[in-house]
Amino acid sequence: MTPLAALDYASVIVFAISGALAASRAQLDLVGFAFVACLTAVGGGTLRDVLLNRDAVFWIADPTYIVIACLVAAVVFFTAHLFESRQKALLWADAVALSVAVVAGAGVALKLGQPPVIVALMGVATGCFGGMMRDVVCNEVPLILKHGELYASAALAGPLALLLASHFELSRFLGFAICAIVTFILRAGSLAWGWSLPVYKSRPPKN
């Protein structure tokens, strides 16, 4: 298994958990759990593969990803009541998944020799799209839009760190690790201690 495939597997598992937790909040049945888990798990990578025009979407080339997402959905269906707060569990699963998926997106673009802007953007798109689909489909406000939180910013900082690491010719593995860690620290800091960037404040009353 290549490192990039391992990253795809890891992000599929954690995003599937976050999708299934969202399904539990929407009180769906077992098939509904599997549907939202699959959508969240493969959404970002599918967008990446379609945009980069790869030969085949990763989960069509290897359907194991779908089987895994369905198994995860089933496990969560029977165990979600064990979590003290499912919303909190969802947020942290999403943070881990974001960190891994950002690397999976930026890494593929880097390997295909795309220019830096596209590497950064593929990281952001792959990281954010699955969770965005989950929130739109489950009728929740997309996490990416909660103001006063780092989300897109965390997903952008990771790929930028990866590009820097690649510029200084660090090993690919080290670059991937740095990318995931930077993303996770920023997102976790935002969840745990309220880190944020200044948001736009309208001076005149909002219209």
Instruction: Enumerate binding residues for its own copies (CB under 8 A).
Output: 23-35, 38, 46, 50-53, 55-57, 60, 63, 66-67, 77, 80-81, 84-87, 114-115, 117-118, 121, 124, 128, 132, 136-139, 141-142, 144-145, 147, 150-153, 156, 196-204, 206-207
In which element (H, E) is residue 68 found?
A: helix 64-79
Q: How large is the angle between the packed helices 152-167 and 86-111, nearest 10 degrees?
A: 30
Nearer Cβ to its own copies (168/198): 198
Instruction: Tokens 């880097």: give the residue.
Output: 110
Tell me how far, at minimum, the Cβ of 3 lies from its own copies, in Å. 23
Q: How far is the CB of 19 from its own copies (least distance, A)?
A: 13
In angstroms, give the least distance from the CB of 87 to its own copies. 5
The residue among 81 and 173 lying less far from its own copies, judged by its C-beta, is 81
For its own copies, which is the closer residue by CB, 20 or 100?
20
Assess contact for 109 and 53: CB atoms under 8 A.
no
Structure tokens at 3: 């490192």
Outline where 80-171 has alpha helix (H): 86-111, 116-137, 152-167
| Closest CB 168 distance from its own copies, rounded Å | 22
Q: Distance between CA 176 and CA 106 in Å, rounded? A: 9
Provide the minimum distance between the beta carbon of 171 and its own copies in the complex, in angstroms, as a whole number: 26
Among residues 57 and 164, whose Cβ is nearest to its own copies?
57
Structure tokens at 198: 């200044």
Q: 58 or 176: whose CB is closer to its own copies?
A: 58
Q: Which residues have C-beta within 8 Å of that of residue 18, sequence separation ≥ 6?
A: 40, 90, 93, 94, 97, 131, 134
